[in-house]
Structure 1
């Protein structure tokens, strides 16, 4: 007899199944036993449970052909085979059926009945007792059974290589070690589960974390948009939810363009842009981020295309960025086609750093051809987040951005908290102070205005 299968009657191996009782068809049928409620230390043996399910007896040689037609009603549970040997007859097989879809023999649809008739299979189903174990329950089912009734269940997490990064709520903390172990058990490749224990508010943007279960090793490897990154997750900032945003910005670059990445982290903007034959200057204040950025440049074979710095963001802007822009001014020509982009991905504080652009090229020969495009990230809890971010950027710069900016919704961070990116060309009057410019032939290229509210998150920023 196959493991997990128990006959209802030893004298009669099969019994007809006119109908599964309503109580058994309740949604609790595939829930763990009720006595696991409140468990704080995982006991896998406590999750054994026997349920009654329908099975269909068929000849073994037609199983494969029949399964394609019975996909709708076949049982699908973790670790459970949908076809088992018939303990009475080795020439037959038993197909496990979903009790939620097979209430009676009449639950087969016409197309299913047709194929059964064609293959000379009786539609009469029998019932079996199936023993479920810990391996047969989904993580959400386990946590819903363990945590107090009515409380939110955490079954999702951010995956960072072999690490599952959770952000548990207060009512889940008594169960944190159990939750961590369940995440490891139910997700192949996950060998460590961690929980954030403070917000990202320190100088280096990393956060304190607690290992809930599994190995202590936080050095991990991830693949994002065809690039590989290695880093110590406990010492640098990495958010897998920004993958789409990294790609969106990268797509704006053409060969020959220049990128200044002010808060580069371990390189998710800098490395893909460098691969497009662009000139990249990447900076991060965190010594660990700087170390892993250098490592990832070599890992992705762009170490000859990226200049890496370990400076405060303002010092980077007023030092290497200013110096490079001055050199760019000296090389300007009417044939110049490349763009200069400055990415500032520090949502909690990046807008404050915009003040560094004031008079950045004061005293230099004015050139409207060299007006960098800034992509500045910020959080907003305002009812109109796009307007809020633009107004705060304008307040720091001391000028209106109406004619030269667009706002992109990156993601919803939390209820009533959005992450956005405002993109704009630095106004010449800001970059060159108050010097007059001849803009008859070289007008500041406007950015395509983006809609706000529901639709503005779907459009892409278009750079002239």
Structure 2
């Protein structure tokens, strides 16, 4: 049986040292087998951390296999409505305070999702630690994806010191706060009041001063904002295509747009991007979503 879980790739010669360090932190998932990949090992983790990605691990024989779940801070999200399994997960991971079942997909203008608490505290609020930042999230109140941790670091490496950045669908602020380390200014917009409330909390927690939160419909940003931007983030996978014209209008010539979308074919949006005056620098899969569909990111330069 395989289990999807966070893992970290390390050189095999450092594997035992890293394994022991993770054990001391309570961050190693001892119920899963280590993966050997050539001269590297992939160690299973109990949650996201710097450098971690999602892998499929085999369970240790003789050890109880936990139901499939995803960890977001102190909350485990189950794929099945299994109260008994939820109790097993809760007792097996001391870092958890709640286990929930996702009753539906992300939907609506506010990008929210319904959850049922199966075990632990009656809350969907938790704190996620990511690359030195702490993000307070409310899974039922505002959009947040721990799986985009690596993607946020990839974009940070591309930001030139002093850039102006626009995050059109900022959620609780993880992209905005991450990129603020190099950007001169980040405008972080969202339509969801709860997302802005949590973003303000996260800006204070992380002592970030150069992010401007805006409660606004992304369709109206061109009417509100007096600037054009060097870099624009568009993380609205289900409906981002309709906002591409606005993003192009708001982007500086030779500026960059990072456009995230659910696709079922490579190059699905290339023709539309060219029509609007953009050139696709790269298209890559961020993660799988469902059979025949994946979460892709287009890195676009505007002519």
Rate the CA distance shift 1:177–1:392 in 2: closer, same or farther, 3 A. Answer: farther
Describe the superposition over 1:245-275 as per-residue Cα deviations: whole angstroms up to 9, x where unpaired.
1111111112111110000111111111112
Per the alignment, residue 104 of structure 1 pairs with none
**TM-score, structure 2 normalization:** 0.74
Residue in 2 aligned with 1:347?
A: 237
2:259 corresponding residue in structure 1: 376
Q: 1:369 to 1:186 in 2, by over 3 A?
A: closer
What's the counterpart of residue 308 of structure 1?
A: 213
Aligned to 1:406: 282
2:66 aligned with 1:195, yes or no? no
Superposed counterparts of 1:80-229, under 5 Å? 138-140=63-65, 155-168=67-80, 173=81, 176-229=82-135
SS at the partner of 2:151?
helix
Taking the aligned partners of 2:147 and 2:97, their CA distance within structure 1 comes to 20
2:302 aligns with 426
Over the residues paired in the alignment, what is the CA RMSD in angstroms? Answer: 2.4
Whether the 8 Å CA contact 1:162–1:220 is kept in 2: the answer is: yes
Runs of 4+ in 1 over 6 A off after TM superposition: none
TM-fit CA distance, 1:422 = 0.8
2:269 is the counterpart of 1:389: yes
Cα-to-partner distance string for 1:51-105 (whole Å, 9 max, x where unaligned): xxxxxxxxxxxxxxxxxxxxxxxxxxx89xxxxxxxxxxxxxxxxxxxxxxxxxx
SS in 1 for 2:227: helix
The secondary structure found in structure 2 opposite 1:204 is: coil
Could you say what secondary structure the match of 2:269 adopts?
Answer: helix
- Unaligned runs of 5+ residues in structure 2 are 1-29, 32-60
1:377–1:422 CA contact under 8 A, matched in 2: yes
Structure 1 residue 138: deviation in Å?
Answer: 3.6
Q: Name the SS of the counterpart of 2:158 in structure 1.
A: coil
1:300: Cα distance to partner? Answer: 0.6
Instruction: Give the C-alpha shift of residue 317 in structure 1.
Output: 4.0
- Residue 254 of structure 1: SS of its match in structure 2? coil
Name the larger-Rg structure.
1
Aligned in 2, Cα 1:317/1:422: closer, same or farther, shift over 3 Å?
A: farther
Answer yes or no: is the 8 Å Cα contact 1:406–1:424 preserved in 2.
yes
Separation in 1 of the partners of 2:298 and 2:256? 10
CA contact (8 A) 2:238 2:261 kept: yes
SS in structure 2 at match of 1:420: strand
**CA separation of 1:407 and 1:317: change in aligned 2, threshold 3 A:** farther
For residue 280 of structure 1, what is the aligned residue in structure 2? Answer: 186
TM-score (norm 1): 0.50
Q: Separation in 2 of the partners of 1:357 and 1:239? A: 22
Say which SS state the counterpart of residue 248 (structure 1) adopts. Answer: helix
* Cα distance change, pair 286–296 in 1 and its aligned pair in 2 (3 A): same
Paired residue for 2:5?
Answer: none
Q: 1:139 to 1:417 in 2, by over 3 A?
A: farther
